Amino acid sequence: MTEARMQETPEYKAGTFCWVECGTTNVAAVKSFYKELFGWDYEDHPMGPSGVYTIIKLNGKDVGGLYELSSEMLAQNMPSHWLSYVSVANADDATAQAVSAGGTVMKEPFDAGPNGRMSVLQDPTGAVFATWQAKEHPGAGIYRELGAACWNELLTPDTQKAGDFYSLLFGWSREPFGGDYTVFKNGEQGVGGMYQITPEMGPVPPHWLVYFAVSDCDATVKRVTELGGGVLRPAEDIPEIGRFAILTDPAGAAFAIIKPETPKA
C-alpha cells in the first residue's frame, strides 16, 4: 500500500506546500461536514496516548489529515484550525533557519513515525505553519483538483516583515498582484499568496488560509450553511482568477473555496 501511495503521490520540491491538516474540537461533526461538502472519506490511525490521526481520502488518495485537539491544546485556548505544511529538505535545518530569521518554534523537530520528520513554527508576525521532511510519505496525493487543497494564503499584519521571513527561509520570490496582493513564487511556480490584515476585517489573527477547489462557489457556500458551517466572506470574483469565499466548518476552523476561472482560449 505504501509503495502504491508513493508511486501515485507527486514529488514536492522543497519550499512547496505539500499537506494540510485540521485540528478540531469535534471530529465526528467535521468528518460528516466535509464528507457532504467535498466527498471525503477517512482512514483512522490509532496513535496510542496521542489519540487518533485520521487520513483524509479523496478518490482513494490522501488529501490531508484530521485529529482532535488535545486537552493540553485546549488549555492553551487553541481553536479549531487548518495547518499548512511546507516541504523541506531537512526539518532540523529549516527550524534553525526559521529561528535565525526571527521565527518561533512551537514544536521542535520530531519524527512522525516512518512517514517523515516535521516541526511547527510561527513566523515573526504570528502565523503558524509546519515543515515536512518527507520519508515514506511525500505529502498529498491530490493537489489543485476538485475537493482538494489548491492554494495557501497568508493573512498578516506586516507583509514586509512576513515576506522577508519566508523569502529568507524558503527562497521564495515575491510578485505583486492586483495592487495589494503578493504572490510567493518558488522558482517559476506560484506557491502561495499574502495580503495585509486591515482594521475593517476586525480581530483577524495572522494565519495561513487553505483554499479548496470547487466546481460551483455559490452552491458550495449555500451547502456550507445548510451543513452547520459559517460564512466569513461571501462569494465574490477575482478577475481572471476565479470566484471564492471564506468559510468556517461547524467547529469554527476557517477555510476558503475557489472555483478557478477557465482560461480563455
DSSP per-residue letters across 4-43? HHHHHSPP--TTSEEEEEEEES-HHHHHHHHHHHH--EEE
SS3 89: coil
SS3 193: strand
pLDDT of residue 10: 65
Cβ–Cβ < 8 Å for 28, 68: no
Residue 19 scores a pLDDT above 60: yes
Percent of the chain with pLDDT over 90: 76
Compute the distance between CA of residue 70 and CA of residue 50 in angstroms, rounded to an integer.
8
| DSSP-derived pairing of the beta strands 81-87 and 128-134 | parallel
Please check whether the domain covering 149-260 is classified as CATH 3.10.180.10: yes
Distant-in-sequence, close-in-space partners of 99: CB < 8 Å, separation ≥ 6: 105
Cβ–Cβ < 8 Å for 43, 55: yes
Cβ–Cβ < 8 Å for 55, 45: yes
- For CATH 3.10.180.10, the residue range(s) in the chain are 2-134, 149-260
The torsion angles phi and psi of 75, rounded to 5 degrees, stand at: -65, -25
Rg for the chain (alpha carbons), in Å? Answer: 18
pLDDT of residue 265: 45
For residue 103, CA distances in Å to 95, 98, 107 come to: 9, 5, 12
Band of the pLDDT at 29, cuts 50, 70, 90?
very high
SS3 167: helix
> What is the CATH T-level fold of the domain 2-134, as seen in this structure?
2,3-Dihydroxybiphenyl 1,2-Dioxygenase; domain 1 (3.10.180)
174 or 199, which is more confident: 174
pTM of the model: 0.92
Local structure of residue 142 (DSSP, 8 states): -
- With vertex at residue 2, the alpha carbon angle to CA 33 and CA 137, rounded to the nearest 5 degrees, is 70
For residue 143, CA distances in Å to 137, 188, 222 come to: 15, 18, 24
pLDDT of residue 7: 40
Q: What is the pLDDT of residues 177-235, one digit of tens each?
A: 877 899 999 999 999 999 999 888 788 899 999 999 999 999 999 999 999 999 999 99
Residue showing cell 478540531: 24
Q: Is the dihedral of CA 6, 11, 13, 15 positive or negative?
A: negative
Q: What is the pLDDT of residues 96-147, one digit of tens each?
A: 999 999 999 999 999 988 899 999 999 999 999 999 999 988 898 888 899 9
Q: How many CB atoms lie within 10 A of CB 144?
A: 13
Cβ–Cβ < 8 Å for 231, 247: yes
pLDDT of residue 2: 35
pLDDT of residue 53: 93
